[in-house]
Amino acid sequence: MTTEPQQFASDNYAGACPEALEAMLAANAGSAVAYGDDGWTQRASDSFRTLFETDCEIFFVFNGTAANSLALASLCQSYHSVICSSAAHVETDECGAPEFFSNGSKLLLAPSADGKLTPEAIRTLAGSRSDIHFPKPRVVTITQPTETGQVYSVAEVRAISAVCRELGLKLHMDGARFAHACAALGCTPAAITWEAGVDVLCFGGTKNGLMVGEAVIFFDRALAEDFDYRCKQAGQLASKMRFLSAPWIGLIESGAWLRNAEHGNACAERLAARVADLPAVQLLFPVQANSVFLVAPDAVLDELRARGWRFYTFIGGGARFMFAWDADPARVDQLAADIRAACEVRALA
Amino acid sequence: MTTEPQQFASDNYAGACPEALEAMLAANAGSAVAYGDDGWTQRASDSFRTLFETDCEIFFVFNGTAANSLALASLCQSYHSVICSSAAHVETDECGAPEFFSNGSKLLLAPSADGKLTPEAIRTLAGSRSDIHFPKPRVVTITQPTETGQVYSVAEVRAISAVCRELGLKLHMDGARFAHACAALGCTPAAITWEAGVDVLCFGGTKNGLMVGEAVIFFDRALAEDFDYRCKQAGQLASKMRFLSAPWIGLIESGAWLRNAEHGNACAERLAARVADLPAVQLLFPVQANSVFLVAPDAVLDELRARGWRFYTFIGGGARFMFAWDADPARVDQLAADIRAACEVRALA
Amino acid sequence: MTTEPQQFASDNYAGACPEALEAMLAANAGSAVAYGDDGWTQRASDSFRTLFETDCEIFFVFNGTAANSLALASLCQSYHSVICSSAAHVETDECGAPEFFSNGSKLLLAPSADGKLTPEAIRTLAGSRSDIHFPKPRVVTITQPTETGQVYSVAEVRAISAVCRELGLKLHMDGARFAHACAALGCTPAAITWEAGVDVLCFGGTKNGLMVGEAVIFFDRALAEDFDYRCKQAGQLASKMRFLSAPWIGLIESGAWLRNAEHGNACAERLAARVADLPAVQLLFPVQANSVFLVAPDAVLDELRARGWRFYTFIGGGARFMFAWDADPARVDQLAADIRAACEVRALA
Amino acid sequence: MTTEPQQFASDNYAGACPEALEAMLAANAGSAVAYGDDGWTQRASDSFRTLFETDCEIFFVFNGTAANSLALASLCQSYHSVICSSAAHVETDECGAPEFFSNGSKLLLAPSADGKLTPEAIRTLAGSRSDIHFPKPRVVTITQPTETGQVYSVAEVRAISAVCRELGLKLHMDGARFAHACAALGCTPAAITWEAGVDVLCFGGTKNGLMVGEAVIFFDRALAEDFDYRCKQAGQLASKMRFLSAPWIGLIESGAWLRNAEHGNACAERLAARVADLPAVQLLFPVQANSVFLVAPDAVLDELRARGWRFYTFIGGGARFMFAWDADPARVDQLAADIRAACEVRALA
């Protein structure tokens, strides 16, 4: 198969990073006990405990849909509800997975321009109804960084967890790009999670450089009771578990988890900087993580497509670019140059 | 991590075979479109179509729990039932996954000594009740080979599918070790599936030499309608799909799928042959695929454990050994020798 | 137990009408076969067929939550979605029941001031996404009359069903107060349902004068396949079915179904007419069925409460009054007089 | 509608008893607050508390399918399992309802000739597996009396609850005919439930003389948390709740609940006594409650059918007769005489 030139439509377009790959190949040697009772899985779990500086409970599942849906289902009964942003991935892009895994838990949506939840929005939604004709709020989920690339500060997460505790709600963090948030904040993983009041984190591996796999991390071990049974029943227990767990060893122990994220973030900044002077192109959101949302005229976007670029568009008109661990700076520059050229072509038209 | 000596407790203890690994590494180069719209996934699907000599529909999912449960759920509503053997993996080892994915479909169990279903057993179960207080039978699922290593002949599958058609039931084949059945039968994949009346096959990749992944194959494309949505909602759509699909290319195009199975089967026969003369040890089932079920006194089993061997035991007293693509014949011989020695030790005691 | 003065907070506050009661008492004589294989249930079903002038399929269930949720679940798979108004009862007051019964079908909400769906809104929602990351639209549900008391005309329902057919969507009508819509429109039940393109109707009995019970009516009998199993599994099959079905005979054969609704509608008009000249009080919605939504200052509402009236309030400030078959016109007049007095008291304050 | 001669095929064939009917009619006067916030529901709940001599929590639902399924679902997660007899109604006659309401909890079946569970059977099933590939046992459900009419003694229930406590299992009692057990035992409702270690009881109203309705009674109030939401979401919250609750007042306060059951039990004994001397007819189970299971030759059963009798048959050949509150002793005698005559006719043949 021939390989296409690199695209930035999604950070899922990237392959696995060398550190993850090397660990996976190492794990491939010889036979290992199935279903997670192997040394690789033990070591990967310990790596997470070291990284998070706490004795957390870790489960390795296949993808983010399952990680978030199973975590939410474990915090809810079917007649409970989950408070999230109207832009949350669990609402907009999971085909009803949270409702499926929980057997009916409803998502309560806080309208949000940039995808962030606020303590006020949580309070309003949690207090809007208290009768049995409406599902009882039990969990808040925030995406860190948000689907628009916005990063919650430690103070923001702390403020949210405070209102959660006050209202008897659990706090879940969808960290599909958690490493990018850590890189952006320059803080420890502990500081932005359990130290700030997060109960459960879904740490995204795929967008961080793995081939496949996410980790569900319970900081309150009591909440993890029987979660292994939940994973098994829901088709999320890998038989050859070492292949899901070992690559995390490569990622975490080498520091690649953070380097990969820093690189993605830097490429996003690089693109943004290179098109900042173009009047026809605006940033829809500040660039804080590894994505750039550009508002641009249709003609510009058409020209970009004509030049071979792939990207997702969004309502209102614009293009999203996402940068993974493997983004080639030269190719980022080429994209910037093509955007500039597309604006000029359009100006002439 | 140091590697243990090879064990035959499960064919899930093996790593990935070279052909699968090579294809996965090849797929890792460059960027590829996510969620299956990539060339690797297209080519893997085509490989299956060639292998099965028909224009079937293929879906790649993460594991066998999901493959079987999603396939059954797609053939049923929650108030329908699934006819299976009392020894079927979906009944005994899936922690309620079929009921979870289908939201309540009941499994109707046909008692079976060797795990095989018969047309008579299907007819009896399907006809046992016809009132609305009992879930309506809609699907028959057979495991090929069975959990006890028994292989359905083409004639047997044809007889089962005939009764299914007569009774308005769909026929699903759990092929966690499907390749081993093909190797044992010496027939084409087509002959034992769609040509014999199978509607949906779950083709096991993990036990055939992959790191992770199974394929759900719909021979009647109408039954596959919206199955992609079902996979997505249930957390079984890989974002970097090429890593689930490309290894199948390696497996199928090289013929490793069959060689791997032949090797596993041969190792099972090898072990059985080498212990055939031991009076203290009996075969619980004829060796037809890659497993050997030995009935042996507890003292023999204890001695084997003392010599470092791992194995599953079963009710009635005995040990199961399973042979994967990587089984080392010398190590098989060592196991045989240790069984012989254990019998002698016991005879002396 | 002493009885309170009549309240108009809900049309669920009323008891059973004499015609329903009489039929239930008649059905109580002697023994009858259970689970619906009795003469009363047969006759009630036939009454519906006569009323709707078509050979429809009828199921009797316990309440509206179940009627609507089961009907929607029968039209969807878990990964499908249901288009409804943001004010629809299934969204706002069923505690996630549609999601529970369907095992995850998402409701897609069309913003609507008066609770009505339009062909344009349906088209927009149905066309908003077509990727597998978002549940595929399969059903449209409209409430007739809406939760705000607005009645769809025959032409409006026809326009909606036309767009449904065009887009491959089924059309469900939540008729919790279906009789009130018929009374308001002065049309036949056939004209506003199957003749206008409705596939399934939930005909509300409780608000029409029954003690308990709703009817799910399939105009396309193919859609009713195995719905009896669905009801049974979901706890909606009455063992002594005659008590759910016979009261419908009383309601339908006597014409009480329509008279009851006409009376409720007339009482709503009566109240609205008696307060029409009060400048402090406005109608939030035109009075078309048996409800009156009054926007009024808090002081007026407080005074009404002080005078012993119960009512639901809504966002923005106001009171809802609902009139059942038993509404006493003198009591309606007393309410009107108290509203008037409350306005005067307030004016003085 | 003309009424058939009384049949004893099911105790669901009976209508409502006068005490229930009278209370329902009394409750029909005037308006009452919906959804259970009414005086009738309060009083009915208090009646239960008085009857059970404890401050239990009571929920009124529509039928036994829902009562048992909701109660079990509240004690389980989807990956847990429920231990029951192979003859339990939840296994044999609920069309997968427990699996549906719980989203997949599996029933673990203890083979049982008479439908009774024993401490040994519970211990064996609970200890059979402890790996995550099999659903974790969490609840034991017993039917009192069993589907075969056998009554657990207080000592038997105490022995079962002791093993439940030891193994960390909750104990649920399916009391579809609970009153008949109390009548048979001559003990207080408290003695055979919470005093004996039962956590949750489903008290059957329909078979005890109601038109419709069952009560779910939580003796441990902590287990009842949010059960009202669960009922609502699952379509089991009656809007005009007084009609579900008030009849219980009639049943309990008048003592009819016990008299009705005593009458049914006495009629069963009456039939059994009158056919005891017939050599061709045997009792399949001792008569302890309101059912008689007769083993009889097919020719006898055919003759009974020819004489107009309806009854359920069971595997092995025989007829079940059930006696409700309204069983007419003269009609019981007529049945006995017809059985005698049928035996004679057969002897002649």
- Residue A252 makes CB contacts below 8 A (sequence gap 6+) with A44, A47, A48, A50, A51
Q: What is the mean pLDDT of residues B180-202?
A: 98
Predicted TM-score (pTM) above 0.95: yes
Please classify residue A5 by burial: count the beta carbons closer than 10 Å to its beta carbon, then call 0-12 exposed, 13-18 middle and 19+ buried. Answer: exposed
Round to whole Å and give the CA distance between D255 and B324. 69
> Which of the residues C90, C91, C106, C108 would you substitute to probe the A interface, choosing the one with the greatest number of A C-beta atoms within 10 Å?
C106
Q: What are B321's two structure tokens?
A: 């050994």
Taking an 8 Å Cβ-Cβ cutoff, which residues of chain D contact chain B?
Answer: 78-79, 81, 92-97, 99-100, 103-106, 132-135
* SS3 assignment for A76-115: CCCCEEEEEECCCHHHHCCCCHHHHHHCCCEEEEECCCCC
Task: Collect all residues of chain B within an 8 Å Cβ-Cβ radius of residue C79.
Answer: 226, 229-230, 232-233
Q: Is A2's pLDDT higher than 90?
A: no
- pLDDT tens, residue by residue, A161-219: 999 999 999 999 999 999 999 999 999 999 999 999 999 999 999 999 999 999 999 99
pLDDT at D2: 62
**Cβ-nearest to D93 among B81, B104, B134:** B134
pLDDT level of residue A314 (50, 70, 90 thresholds):
confident
Q: Is D346's pLDDT higher than 90?
A: no
Q: What is the mean pLDDT of residues B270-295?
A: 96
- pLDDT tens, residue by residue, C122-154: 999 999 999 999 999 999 999 999 999 999 999
Domain A18-255 has CATH 3.40.50.170: no
Round to whole Å and give the CA distance between B61 and B55. 19
Residue environment code for C95-106, b if the CB has 16+ CB neighbours within 10 A, otherwise e: bbbbbbbbbbbb
- pLDDT tens, residue by residue, C43-93: 999 999 999 999 999 999 999 999 999 999 999 999 999 999 999 999 999
What residue in A sits closest to C135 (Cα-Cα)? Answer: A95
Whether B135 sits inside 8 A of C35 (CB atoms) is no
Q: Is B347's pLDDT higher than 80?
A: no
Mean residue pLDDT of chain B comes to: 96
Q: Is D175's pLDDT higher than 70?
A: yes
Whether A13 sits inside 8 A of B26 (CB atoms) is no
Q: Is C349's pLDDT higher than 80?
A: no
pLDDT at B1: 60
**ipTM of the prediction:** 0.96
The residues spanned by each domain of chain B are 18-253, 256-348
CATH of domain C18-256: 3.40.640.10
Q: What are B303's two structure tokens?
A: 């001695």
The radius of gyration of chain C from alpha carbons, rounded to an integer in Å, stands at: 21
> Which of the residues A31, A101, A310 would you substitute to probe the B interface, choosing the one with the greatest number of B C-beta atoms within 10 Å?
A31
Task: Collect all residues of chain D within an 8 Å Cβ-Cβ radius of residue A133.
Answer: 232
Whether A95 sits inside 8 A of B232 (CB atoms) is yes
> Which of the residues B106, B128, B313, B315 would you substitute to probe the D interface, choosing the one with the greatest number of D C-beta atoms within 10 Å?
B106
Q: What is the mean pLDDT of residues C321-338?
A: 98
Distance from CA of B79 to the nearest CA of C (A): 6
Q: What is the mean pLDDT of residues A280-298?
A: 96
DSSP-based three-state secondary structure for B300: helix
Whether B134 sits inside 8 A of D95 (CB atoms) is yes
Architecture of domain B256-348: Alpha-Beta Complex (3.90)
CA torsion, points C31, C35, C40, C41, in degrees to nearest 10? 180
- pLDDT tens, residue by residue, D214-255: 999 999 999 999 999 999 999 999 999 999 999 999 999 999
D206 DSSP assignment: G
Whether B78 sits inside 8 A of C228 (CB atoms) is no
* SS3 assignment for C139-189: EEEEECCCCCCCCCCHHHHHHHHHHHHHHCCEEEEEECCHHHHHHHHCCCH
Mean residue pLDDT of chain D comes to: 96
The more confidently predicted of residues B313 and D200 is: D200
Distance from CA of D321 to the nearest CA of B (A): 19
Of chain A, the percentage scoring pLDDT greater than 90 comes to 95
Q: What is the mean pLDDT of residues D46-66?
A: 98
pLDDT level of residue D213 (50, 70, 90 thresholds):
very high
What residue in A sits closest to D227 (Cα-Cα)? Answer: A79
> Which of the residues B101, B132, B232 would you substitute to probe the C interface, choosing the one with the greatest number of C C-beta atoms within 10 Å?
B132
pLDDT level of residue B63 (50, 70, 90 thresholds):
very high
Task: Collect all residues of chain C within an 8 Å Cβ-Cβ radius of residue A81.
Answer: 96
D221 DSSP assignment: G
Whether B229 sits inside 8 A of C35 (CB atoms) is no
CATH, domain B18-253, list 3.90.700.10, 3.50.30.30, 3.40.640.10, 1.25.40.80: 3.40.640.10
Whether B43 sits inside 8 A of A211 (CB atoms) is no
Q: Is C347's pLDDT higher than 90?
A: no
Q: What is the mean pLDDT of residues A66-95?
A: 97
pLDDT at B113: 86
Place of tokens 């979870």: B100
Q: What is the mean pLDDT of residues A140-157?
A: 97
Q: What are C309's two structure tokens?
A: 């009236």
Fold of the C257-348 domain: Aspartate Aminotransferase, domain 1 (3.90.1150)
Decide if B241 contacts A67 (C-beta within 8 A). Answer: no
- pLDDT tens, residue by residue, A102-113: 999 999 999 998
Round to whole Å and give the CA distance between B92 and B111. 13
**Cβ-nearest to A229 among D79, D229, D233:** D79
Q: What is the mean pLDDT of residues C11-20?
A: 97
DSSP-based three-state secondary structure for B219: coil
Place of tokens 């025959």: C154
